[in-house]
A and B are shown apart, each in its own frame.
Chain A
Amino acid sequence: MLMHLFRLIWNRKLSNLLIILELTLAFVVLYFVSATALHLWSMYNRPLGFEWQSHYSMTINQGAEASESDMERLNGMIDRLEQRSDIDWVHIVKQALFQNWHWSTSINHEGDYIQTYMNTLSDGAAEDLGVTLLSGRFFNEGDAGQAWLPVLINRAVSERLFGEGVDPLGQNINPPSEDQPDQEQTEYRVIGVIEDFRQSGEFWGDEYYVLARFDTSRNDTFANSLVIRPQDGLSATFEASLLQEMTQMAPSWNITVRPLADYRQDRIRSVMTPIILSGIVAGFLLLMVAFGLFGVLWQNVTRRTHELGLRRALGASAADIFKQITIEMMLVASFAIVLGTLITIQFTLLGTFSSLNWMTTIKGSVLAAVVLLMLVAICTLYPGWIASRKQPADALRYE
């Protein structure tokens, strides 16, 4: 039966070629939609690496008159906050969470360079934020005054720079460059490996992240962002009293207090809005492809009413006809899927889209293939069912 159908498909190669092209187009569209959806979904489901649910973000804009005493004043404010009985803890997280503040830099280990995002956190911040420590330790006061800066690297950096065999703990990264000795570079020493710290939230796609220690005892530095954890959860009264107290201490500063959850919402919204819009566009595209497919397949089956009627006259049951149409279309669709995969793999090979790694490519292709086969099944089985319900005599009269 299969060989018979193969010959039939082959002999109808011209009209089948059109269907295959249409199906290939549908596959490519489906592939991009599903690969994007899968990529977003996997990003969304990756752990952030820190907690945000009941925390406040306090951000400071010093205005025009930044001065040397700013850090002193900030330390005073932190002391005051720590004294409040309704506050669990206060920490500096220099690059504010869920906001568009980023610090990106190049680091290297033995000449192996990577571009990474970084952040500086005061002592206790990492553990209080619930950062998962894989090995080593967090920062503490003993780290002050060393020739090197203690850093925590995330798993991706560790795997990239040190690989399997080497223990990253105690290793130096970014040591003074030997060919440019005059250029001053900070030497980082790895004191711990953390799971992750996806600073900008669920849709943060970059992999590499490094946390450095913020030294509050230095005067030549400043941080515009604090994370505060109230004792009794989020409340408007707490927010208001906090803002009032802080503004009194630094009237010239512009201070904002807002739940981290709000920033996270903003973040998700700003990512999701264009995605939803393009999702709608892709949806329409898919709908059009589906309609086109339905038309082509419908026509393909009705055009063959006569042949199908003949087969029934010669002893095929309605189920046989159904089976034949399904197998034929599945064969044709498989051709299209192979062809489409050859096309979509090019994008991954060429690295056109950074989000298309091999895992997403494979999953996206499988998902696209499944959806396409389902679409083909729906678009063929219905006209097939109609064709097979006709009395053979009626079908034979059909031209």
Chain B
Amino acid sequence: MSAPAISLQQVSKVYQTDRVETTALDQINLTIPQGEFVSIMGPSGCGKSTLLNLMGLLDAPSDGDIQILGQQVAHLKEKQLATIRNLKIGFVFQSFHLVPDLSVLDNVEIPLLYRSVSSSARRQAARDALERVGLKARMSHYPTQLSGGQQQRVAIARAIVGQPAILFADEPTGNLDSQMGKEILSILNDLNQQSGTTIVMVTHDQHQAEQTGRIIRIHDGQMIH
């Protein structure tokens, strides 16, 4: 049996600001097998983004163990973490995070800049990814020239261009109307079913969450069973 895509043991995250200590996550235990499509739900401020950031290796936990595809990450060097992020993980952010000074194609190719890929193969992969999200025609546009839904699809193309094993999506449809939301969700579903990509998605939309394999509910930094 292959290792789980993600496994968390007693993971906590405490934010230290000037005087206040915020416990954003409190001893989370969670295992997500490879190929699963999981949604995370919970009220605002409960720690969903924090959880996603920890699983996506964008931040370090205050306590506990994280394993990605069977690999313990606690003692990995910065460089090794970057390699895992680059090769195994794709991330879609709630607020897109596109580089405004780069064209759509240039934005999408970014993850491949940090691999040894020839420039022509890189551009080809970026075009393919854009095709998958139905935006090939907009490749030389700039992010500001796109609608919100189009921008989010560019962000998805960028997340999948490197064919990651795991895709994290933090409220990918949060800023979009329901029609656009549906389209995004169907792209993610296809990805999960056709490529077997493990997907972890934060959402506020009960209806969307029900279309995924499992719903994880969080309240005040703790999982509710």
Contacts and interface: CB of A to CB of B under 8 A. Distances in A.
B87 interface: yes
Given A3-B119, A391-B59, A393-B53, A312 B82 contact: yes
Given A7-B106, A319-B79, A396-B93, A313 B114 contact: no
A3 B106 CA distance: 10
Contact of B60 (A1, A307, A391): A391
B91 A313 contact: yes
B30 interface: no
B208 interface: no
A236 interface: no
A317 B58 CA distance: 12
A317 to B, nearest CB: 4
A218 interface: no
Given A8-B101, A313-B56, A314-B85, A320 B114 contact: yes
B69 to A, nearest CB: 15
B22 interface: no
Interface residues of B, number: 30
Interface string A1-33: 101100110011000000000000000000000
Interface in B60-98: 60, 78-79, 82-83, 85-87, 89, 91, 93, 97
B103 interface: yes
Given A315-B87, A393-B53, A310 B78 contact: no
A316 interface: yes
Contact of A7 (B56, B60, B102): B102
Nearest to A9: B101
Contact of A310 (B53, B97, B106): B97
Query: Max chain A CB contacts within 10 Å: which of B87, B89, B99, B114?
Result: B114
A363 interface: no
B111 interface: yes
A393 B58 contact: yes
A8 B102 contact: yes
Given A1-B113, A7-B102, A314 B79 contact: no
Contacts of A230: none
Nearest to A3: B119
B109 interface: yes
A302 B91 CA distance: 23
A313 B56 CA distance: 8
B60 to A, nearest CB: 7
B58 A392 contact: yes
Contact of A4 (B78, B91, B109): B109
B121 to A, nearest CB: 14
A315 B97 contact: no
Contacts of A12: 101
Contacts of A128: none
B86 A315 contact: yes
Given A307-B99, A318-B78, A320-B82, A4 B113 contact: yes
B216 interface: no
Interface in A382-399: 391-394, 396
B127 interface: no
B139 to A, nearest CB: 13
A313 B82 CA distance: 8
A85 to B, nearest CB: 82
A264 B53 CA distance: 73
B153 interface: no
A314 B91 contact: yes
A311 interface: yes
A315 B83 contact: yes
Contacts of A1: 113
A314 B111 contact: yes
Nearest to B111: A314
A312 B110 CA distance: 10
B106 A396 contact: no
A347 B53 CA distance: 57
B158 interface: yes
A396 B58 contact: yes
Query: Max chain A CB contacts within 10 Å: which of B58, B83, B106, B158?
Result: B58
A17 B109 CA distance: 26
B110 to A, nearest CB: 5
Nearest to A5: B113
Contacts of B91: 313-314
A279 to B, nearest CB: 42
5 contacts: A313-B91, A314-B110, A316-B113, A391-B59, A392-B59
Interface of A: 1, 3-4, 7-8, 11-12, 306-307, 310-320, 391-394, 396
Which 7 residue pairs are nearest across A and B when measured between Cβ atoms? Answer: A315-B86, A317-B82, A393-B59, A393-B58, A11-B101, A392-B58, A393-B53
Interface of B: 53, 56, 58-60, 78-79, 82-83, 85-87, 89, 91, 93, 97, 99, 101-103, 106, 109-111, 113-115, 119, 158, 162
Given A312-B85, A315-B89, A316-B113, 11 more contacts: A8-B102, A307-B99, A310-B99, A313-B91, A314-B110, A314-B111, A315-B111, A315-B114, A316-B82, A319-B79, A320-B82
